[in-house]
Amino acid sequence: MRIIGPDELIFGVDDLDACRAFLVDYGLDEVDRTEGGASYHALDGTGITIRKRSDPSLPRPLPTASMLRKTIYGVEDQETLEEIAAELGKDRDIIREADGSLSCRDDLDFALGFRVTTRRKLDLPAEMINSPGAKPGRPANVLGANQDAEAKPRTLSHIVYFVPDMERLTKFYIERLKFVITDKFTNTGPFLRPQSNFDHHVLFMIQTPAYMQGLEHLAFHMQGPTELMLAGSRMVKKGYESFWGPGRHKFGSNWFWYFNSPLGTHVEYDADMDLHDGAWTERETPMSAEAAQLFLFENVEKWAPGGPPPGKQG
Amino acid sequence: MSVAQRHKAETREIAEPLCRLEDLVDGRSRGFDPLGEGRDTMFVVRRGAAVHAWRNHCPHYDRARMAWKKDEFLDPSGERIMCFAHGALFDIASGECVLGPCLGQSLTPVEIELRDGLVRVRGKYAPGFRR
């Protein structure tokens, strides 16, 4: 089933202004703004839509604190959409929306949508590095450090759900939508990728009590570790709350930096995630701090050497 | 704040007042870093003459930081404390979680004293930075 990954996440929020300020500072571009909300796009057109919590056009909320109202997956073509409609239509109502997309709920009641993807194909350079023994990534006189680099999120990368029954939901995504497990944290949850995406994961789950069900975090891919650090350090400087990072995960190998957000979920920058195909064999390990990251840092104020030696100030 | 200074933070009494009562906006929250750790490790919410003080730790993750931006610890209505990690809501006066990932758990109180128009931490205060 040729599903690519999340195209759009829709939230119902109380404070549109706070969400707007956060998402624009995070680096997304505001589009289609009205009194009732707006959308915020990464460079390829994937992104986040916010509406007032009471907006009657939104799917009903979960009975928890989660503000996520719908996850819309992009698929390759109309044929895939029809394939999904036929499969999921066997045991649930499928709504065909005016824009041609499909709507339903998954086996744990998360609202789902599917549409022929609206993402644009990106043609952008990777982060270029110079490494002894390797051909230079940047030719002579091309600089690596640019304080003013835009550092914009390129594409919606992945989402992580808190779920009351990970076995059941994993089964749904694997058997009905043909997702594949790449790796798994025992008793926590699996990393999943759909058929038309080689990214290590577009969906991860964390087993929790039912009252926690919702969105643990969402993430966008950045150009590379340098732009991730630059974008994150700008967020800290603006007063946003760094929650975890910067660091680098083990499963997926992606660099990460998570922030709290007025959308009531963590919003992550990620970069340089592993790609996998059908030749990969899944790994499994218990969740632990050691397993969750290769290393972890914390942002501090900028500093420079120089000036009088310690104890001689003034 | 250098890294070396931050790592010296240890449990002690806080001699300096946090602020004056009149510095606190009624109905709003504000974060404080009493040990100079480089991050706000507690916050207060003023409601009229009352000031409620809590550690900046959401109970559902170890030392989870709660605000979404400097000093922003309340939900948009101003009626609840909110953890912007995952949206948990807490009663401002009792610290009890009323909705969200830490249902049945409570925030950790900070004992404070209002005297001569000043807000002070009472007793010993432990570092809050994850190390």
Distance, CA of A225 to CA of A238 (rounded, Å): 20
Do the chains contact at B76 and A14, CB–CB below 8 Å? yes
Which residue in chain A is spatially nearest to B82 when comparing CA positions? A264
What b/e readout covers A266-295, taking b as 16+ CB neighbours within 10 angstroms? bbbbbbbbbebeeebeeeeeebeeeebbee
Residue A141's pLDDT is what? 97
Q: Which residues in chain B have Cβ-Cβ distances shorter than 8 Å to A218? A: none
* B130: closest CA of chain A, how far (Å): 10
Query: B65-113 pLDDT, tens per residue?
Result: 999 999 999 999 999 999 999 999 999 999 999 999 899 999 999 999 9
User: Which residues in chain A (262-281) have CB-CB distances under 8 A to chain B?
Assistant: 262, 264-266
Q: How confident is the model at residue A76 (pLDDT cuts 50, 70, 90)?
A: very high
Mutate to test the interface with A, among B30, B60, B69, B90 (most CBs of A within 10 A): B69
A58, A12 Cβ separation under 8 angstroms: yes
Do the chains contact at B87 and A265, CB–CB below 8 Å? yes
Q: Which residues in chain B have Cβ-Cβ distances shorter than 8 Å to A240? A: 68-69
Tell the CATH topology of A3-120+152-296.
2,3-Dihydroxybiphenyl 1,2-Dioxygenase; domain 1 (3.10.180)
Distance, CA of A287 to CA of A290 (rounded, Å): 8
Query: B13-28 pLDDT, tens per residue?
Result: 999 999 999 999 999 9
Locate the domains of chain A by residue range. 3-120+152-296
Mutate to test the interface with A, among B30, B39, B63, B68 (most CBs of A within 10 A): B68
Query: Which residue segments constitute the domains of chain B, with CATH numbers given?
Result: 3-125 (2.102.10.10)
Q: Distances from the Cα of B42 to the Cαs of A188, A230, B67, in angstroms?
A: 30, 28, 11
